[in-house]
Amino acid sequence: MEVNGRFWVSLPLARHCRARFAWEAYRRAVLGDDRPAPPPRAGRSARYMVPDTRRLLRVLFGAGAIADPMFRVRRWRELLAYVGGFLDPRGRYYVAALRDPGPLCRDALSMARKALRLGG
């Protein structure tokens, strides 16, 4: 569960759940419509692939640099959970969509550029 008072940060997940926070705020504040909002679709999750991938790589290849003493390295479990997320029919993605692959490509390119700068 994500609790965030700044709804614009959560818009991708909200959009996948059909919770239209921005529209509801506008509808109530500007249009004066105080009817209840339609219920959102439950059971969705959203992944942000660039940070998820970065975290996986850190767990797989740089776990020694993780300072949390409670963290236990479970490489296979982490890898299976990451791959399994692609198979979960309830899962959606923050910036990845088949009909508009541009944002994911830009995020991946940005991540690759940063990795090359840090490594070189």
pLDDT tens, 1-21?
Answer: 556 666 666 677 888 888 888
> For residue 60, how many C-alpha atoms fall within 13 Å in the half-sphere facing its CB?
13
Give residue 9's pLDDT: 62
User: What integer pLDDT is reported at residue 7 of this predicted model?
Assistant: 61
How far apart CA 27 and CA 18 sit, in angstroms, is 15
Helices (H) and strands (E) in the chain, counts: 5, 2
- The string of DSSP codes covering 18-57 is T--HHHHHHHHHTS---SPPPPPPPS-EEE-HHHHHHHHH
